[in-house]
Amino acid sequence: MSLNIYNTLSRASEPFTPIEPGHVRMYVCGMTIYDLCHIGHARMMMAFDVVHRWLVSSGFRVTYVRNITDIDDKIIKRAVERGMTIRALTDEMIAAMHEDIGRLGILAPTVEPRATEYVTPMLELIAKLEAKGLAYKSNSGDVLYAVRKFAGYGKLSGKSLDELRAGERVAVADGKEDPLDFVLWKSAKTSEPADAKWNGVVGEQDYGVGRPGWHIECSAMSCKTLGETFDIHGGGADLQFPHHENEIAQSEGANDRPLAQFWLHNGFVRVDNEKMSKSLGNFFTIREVLAKFDAETVRFFLVRTHYRTALNYSDVHLNDARQALKRLYTALDAVPPCQQAQAIEWSNPYAAKFRAAMDEDFGTPEAIAVLFDLATEVNKTKSPDLSWILKSLGNCLGLLQGNPGEFLQTGAAVDASVIQAQIEMRNSAKLAKDFAAADAIRRELLLKGIVLKDTAAGTSWEVAA
């Protein structure tokens, strides 16, 4: 089997082969870090966490770079509002992000560059673009990219120059030669705090005191950490234009070589058929969601939809995700996996079907369907070997690694010690042949959302569906 990935650049699924045999280099545009992350941000990071995990499961060594934008208009505004330095704000928000996504089981990237640590490479790239006639200084003091001088502009979005319009985050500046031209270096404003300003001197060039534009940040960070051409560049669908289009123009304009072989874009999270975003006010932070639902249920909710498909958020969908995940954990609870140290045997029919699904553009819906088929077979055959395969395949998606009994008891409205005491009282009643009392205890717990399960090994319990 070979891995096929949908490439936004070609608008087609293509066989994937890394530039360096056995080693995948992947860059993903991360967070602009001025507030807590919402579930839409989690969806982006989860999508590429699954990509990362599957590449590793497929035997590749992966260098995964996910950047942090820690200088931006919104960051400056929030720091001023809170009366703190930009660094203090971004350090606080980065720590919160790590805590939140860590709870969701999102693995850390290999490298997590902060934009403010790469200002010199950004200035070097700007100077290179100016020397090639692709950048110019405006009368406002900003340095701008001359879009119409780059022949390939529009190839990622698939639109002609005349069809394209400046995107939401393309700054408007005086002295533009073309409305599509975008800012590479923003001249400092007197109203901005001192920690939002850098000396724009690089070599013999002096671009004045200012700060980098958003797009140049990722061009510099990706090329510095992964090289001028790498395997995969990813991010949310909203970044396709203008951000990724502008990255291509900058990087390829400067280096005369493709920036990335494959471009991957994940779909939005929607609420009432509108994109979840802070600007619309229809967002839920990761912390708010995790206050209502356990972390693995949230992960399962995000993973079970294909990464390129829009995802509808609601409590109903999360409750459904929990019930589905319970079915898998119920199989693992009933038939504990055997202890094996070896890797997955991909020739196993279930493993082979799972791999075929994941090798077709990381097809998580079909892969998860295999997990349910396997759980059914585990329940039927009581095979610890199949139970181990179920758990091992789940691990490829960051799922099913918890204690099954603990998961099934998560969210109980009654303290576990109280439930256990009730079970012991019921056992005593059954020994005394007071079956009416035993049934009454079962009914009382059921009314509180607790289901008792009698087996040869004793009585266990779980939260009702």
Report how far residue 30's alpha carbon sits from residue 45's, in angstroms, rounded to the nearest whole number: 8
Q: What share of the chain is helix, strand, coil (3-state, %, to 5)?
A: 45, 20, 35
Contact between 424 and 461 (Cβ < 8 Å): no
**Does 424 carry a binding-site annotation?**
no
Residue 11 in tokens:
């608008």
**Does 52 carry a binding-site annotation?**
no
The residue with tokens 């996996």 is: 337
Report how far residue 69's alpha carbon sits from residue 78's, in angstroms, rounded to the nearest whole number: 14
Report how far residue 269's alpha carbon sits from residue 275's, in angstroms, rounded to the nearest whole number: 6
Contact between 65 and 311 (Cβ < 8 Å): no
| Cβ contacts of 355 within 8 Å, gap of 6 or more | 1, 346
Report how far residue 415's alpha carbon sits from residue 436's, in angstroms, rounded to the nearest whole number: 24
**Does 218 carry a binding-site annotation?**
yes
Give the three-class secondary structure for 285: strand
**Does 247 carry a binding-site annotation?**
yes
Contact between 377 and 412 (Cβ < 8 Å): no
- 234 Rama sector, left if φ>0, alpha if ψ -120 to 50, beta otherwise: beta
β-strands 230-236, 12-15 pairing = unpaired
**Does 37 carry a binding-site annotation?**
no
Question: Which residues line the annotated binding site for Zn(2+)?
Answer: 29, 218, 243, 247
Question: Which residues line the annotated binding site for ATP?
Answer: 278
Question: Which residues line the annotated binding site?
Answer: 29, 218, 243, 247, 278
